[in-house]
Amino acid sequence: MAGRLLDSEIRDITRALENGIPLDDKYRYLLFKEARQIEMHWNGKSTGITNVRLPFQAVEHIDEPRDESLLKMQGSLFDTSGQRITDWTNKLIWGDNKYVLSSLGSGTVRQQIESAGGLKLVYIDPPFDVGEDFTTTVEIGDSSLVKTPTVLERQAFQDTWGNGDDSFVAMIHERLRLIRDLLADDGTIYIHCDWRVTAYYRLLCDEIFGKENFLNEIIWQSAVGDTSDKNKKFIKSHDTILSYTKSKTYIWNDVFQDYSDASEKLYKFEDERGIYRLGGPVDNPGGGGYIYDLGLGEVTPKGGYRMPKETALKWIEEGVMIVEKGKVPQRKLYRNTDGVRCKDIWDDIKGEKGLVYATQKPEKLLERIISASSNPGDLVADFFCGSGTTLAVAEKMGRKWIGSDLGKFSINTTRKRLITVQRELKDSNQDFRSFEILTIGSYQADIGDTQNEFDGLIVSAYGGEKLNNSPFAGRKVNTYIAVGPKDLPCSRDYVDELVEECLKRSVTSLDILAFEFGMGVIPEAQEYALSKGVRLTLKHIPREVFDKRAIAANAVKFSDVGFLDAKFEVNKRELRVELTDFSIHYSQDVLKQTGDELDKNKSTLILDDGVIKKVAKDKDGIVKIETVTTSWLDWIDYWSVDFHFEDRKEMRLEADQDGKLSQIHTGRFIFDNQWQSFRTKNTKLDLKSSAYEYLKDGLYRVAIKVIDVFGNDTTRIFDVRIGKK
């Protein structure tokens, strides 16, 4: 080390260390063994990555979609068309992909990934436009309402773009490192981006995957571009897709494009010299023709090749060559039926309009990527899955898949899309795999001083009294208050821990306040608490809790979870379920503030305690509020039935004292999606299920799940008597 440094440099370093002065940046290349000569730096760059290992909770299992008129129990559950493949269950995960990726890195699911052959292909299309902030327009009856981002979605957006490019690069850097760790040695990653972030990705991927593992920079000309843009620049009409491999040994299958013009038409014939183009060989396309010496006159173009006579005669016999006296012999031209080998400029796949998301990609784009870098049966993943295009294409092409997204709306959209794919495959007599919906499980109840300050804010807004040195955040008369994590969903494990604290302290009434409740928390957690003698109420924290004006006006509404009701038609051992009622209590925006902030002669729609209201301000500045009529049906996007709830146990892999692994029942159950109805552009909601036939009489637990138009789920469990009492 000393031999690399001048005496003056050693003195400079010593002086800087003694006086707490930052070193000049040049010393990082002189002092550190692994310092790269070229790498990317930004404010806050860290070499550490998330190492949180959280268990996954399976909350729903979706097998063969059953829309037949009669559903039967095991033994006749599957018909002969479209059989379920049982070697792997596909996985759709709701949660922040940072925690999803770090948790996939070890544990049960990592073992399943390795047993499935490893993760061979990852495609990601991260948000590269700061305007993509989880805002979605939803149709409710005859009205369109803008769904504002949840607090957790806002937090994710802040983490991504809060400090501009610095925070975006930090976010994607950590996720790329986690993906590389998860990727199989022969795996490939494709990253979709545009001009705003392409340069960042190149530098990051060179650093993480290695410059030597760069595969392609693909230019996807997705549109003709905005020709109305009068700015002094060329019209933007393409995105970029970067591909990197993990090693020099990777999966590759040639893919082909259709011929785009006559100059690209590859006419194929072979002799011992290989494949030739019209006018010359492939390695010399500008070369001359051929010399044919068949006794019909010799033609010798300059630079040509002499063809062996036996080859020429064979071609004449097979009709490949046409020979006429006095004319140059002609080859019959054969077109390569596969097309031309795919180039790195893709102008033959256009973006599609009228899709769920403005940034949704066409399936043909993913078909090409999946074809090139995976084989049937391989595992494919998309950790920014959006509306599920990657997963849908993977299912159709016989690949296994994992997908994740932070938005519940996205998870529900993907769920519906994949069920539709299952139905299509079944109808066309093709096999398919079941899939399960997972969420991240346990979080610690004690998560530091920042959470403590947050708890005080929420308890105050709720009208309670803050408690210190207690597992509960506060108390309101005789009811204790708990506040879920400020930046994560409130999980079932978290709720169960609080119920156990209630039992220890003889607490009989508990309100849990959270921005988001994990899938499967409602109503199982409430039923469990009630069975222990604890009345448990779950309430959503509104985002207005951070608005001092709303708190001062006592306008912060903590909304109850949704409510549903149903009736049951029993005929001997057959059961039909009819959905009869559903309600929500969400609020978006504060009514008074919305009116105050409106311009004159303007109006807007807001959601107030589950009711759509039109707020308008006339030319004189007078605010008028009108309730927009809706039906309870308008709020439902999807509903499903588990006719045999508590039939599918949630299992967790745990080690005993000797390190031996075994499956342990967590005490919870997975919702087994046995029938479902959902809205699409072409279909309406069915309110009555198909018939389900039980094998024997008895008392059964039937679970009904409703997904509302915002992507939130509400579940209720009913006890139903089948057959004789």
Q: Could you report the per-residue pLDDT of 14-41, keeping only the tens digit for each? A: 888 888 888 877 777 677 766 566 778 7
Percent of the chain beyond pLDDT 90?
Answer: 36
One-letter amino acid at 400 equals K
pLDDT band for position 447 (50/70/90)? very low
Q: What is the pLDDT of residue 153?
A: 76
Q: What is the pLDDT of residue 568?
A: 96
376 or 80, which is more confident = 376
Q: What is the pLDDT of residue 383?
A: 97
Q: What is the DSSP string of 188-236?
A: EEEEEE-TTTHHHHHHHHIIIIIGGGEEEEEEE--S---TT--SSSPPP
Mean pLDDT across 222-242: 82
Answer whether 0.85 is exceeded by the pTM: no
Q: What is the pLDDT of residues 238-279, one digit of tens each?
A: 999 999 999 999 999 999 887 654 334 333 333 333 333 333
159 or 680, which is more confident = 680
Q: What is the pLDDT of residue 95?
A: 87
Structure tokens belonging to residue 368: 């090409």
Structure tokens belonging to residue 245: 């491999």
Which residue has tokens 């993990």? 246
Q: What is the pLDDT of residue 525?
A: 78
Mean pLDDT across 696-723: 90
What's the topology of domain 56-222+243-257+341-440?
A: Rossmann fold (3.40.50)
pLDDT band for position 445 (50/70/90)? very low
714 or 121, which is more confident = 121
Q: List the alpha helices (DSSP H) in 34-75.
A: none
Q: What is the pLDDT of residue 36?
A: 61
Q: What is the pLDDT of residue 304?
A: 44
Q: What is the pLDDT of residue 6?
A: 83
One-letter amino acid at 575 equals L
Do strands 290-291 and 305-306 pair parallel, antiparallel, or not at all (unpaired)? Answer: parallel
pLDDT band for position 452 (50/70/90)? confident
**Choice among 15-29, 261-275, 361-375, 414-428 with the minimum mean pLDDT:** 261-275
**Running DSSP on this structure, what letter comes out for residue 248?**
S
Q: What is the pLDDT of residue 308?
A: 59
Per-residue pLDDT at 454 exceeds 60: yes
Mean pLDDT across 644-668: 76
Q: What is the pLDDT of residue 274?
A: 36
> Which contiguous run of DSSP H or E holds residue 529?
helix 524-531
Distances (CA, A) of 541 to 40, 518, 647: 40, 14, 33
Q: What is the pLDDT of residue 35?
A: 57
**Choice among 306-320, 420-434, 485-499, 673-687 with the minimum mean pLDDT:** 306-320
Percent of the chain beyond pLDDT 70?
Answer: 79
Q: Which residues pair with 436 in a beta bridge?
A: 61, 91
Q: Which of 309-318, 480-489, 532-541 has the highest mean pLDDT?
A: 532-541
Distances (CA, A) of 293 to 29, 74, 305, 330: 68, 75, 11, 13
Q: Which residues pair with 614 in a beta bridge?
A: 605, 626
Residue 530: which residues within 8 A CB-CB, separation 6 or more?
Answer: 536
**Running DSSP on this structure, what letter comes out for residue 657?**
T
Mean pLDDT of the chain: 80
Mean pLDDT across 444-455: 60
Mean pLDDT across 337-362: 77
Mean pLDDT across 2-8: 72
Closest CA to 369 of 125, 537, 655, 576: 125
Category of 343 on φ-ψ map: left (φ > 0), alpha (ψ -120 to 50) or beta: beta
Quick check: 717 and 702 in contact, CB under 8 A? Answer: yes
Quick check: 130 and 700 in contact, CB under 8 A? Answer: no
Mean pLDDT across 600-612: 85
Q: What is the pLDDT of residue 442?
A: 52
Mean pLDDT across 636-642: 94
Q: What is the pLDDT of residues 47-97, one digit of tens each?
A: 778 888 888 888 899 986 554 334 444 333 334 455 667 779 999 999 889
Q: What is the DSSP string of 360-415?
A: PPPHHHHHHHHHHH--TT-EEEESS-TTTHHHHHHHHTT-EEEEEES-HHHHHHHH
**Choice among 135-144, 214-223, 394-403, 440-449 with the minimum mean pLDDT:** 440-449
Mean pLDDT across 467-484: 92
Q: What is the pLDDT of residue 324?
A: 62
pLDDT band for position 389 (50/70/90)? very high
**Choice among 119-133, 289-303, 495-509, 686-700 with the minimum mean pLDDT:** 289-303
Query: What distance in Å separates the CA atoms of residue 42 and residue 454, rounded to the nearest whole number?
Result: 30
**Choice among 399-408, 487-496, 608-617, 685-694 with the minimum mean pLDDT:** 487-496
Per-residue pLDDT at 706 exceeds 80: yes
pLDDT band for position 416 (50/70/90)? very high
Per-residue pLDDT at 335 exceeds 70: no
CA dihedral 350, 353, 358, 362 (to 10 degrees): -40
**Running DSSP on this structure, what letter comes out for residue 64?**
S
Query: What distance in Å separates the CA atoms of residue 533 and residue 110, rounded to the nearest whole number?
Result: 38
Query: What distance in Å separates the CA atoms of residue 670 and residue 320, rounded to the nearest whole number?
Result: 65
pLDDT band for position 306 (50/70/90)? low
**Running DSSP on this structure, what letter comes out for residue 424?**
H
407 or 663, which is more confident = 407
Per-residue pLDDT at 172 exceeds 80: yes
* Coil, helix or strand at residue 155: helix
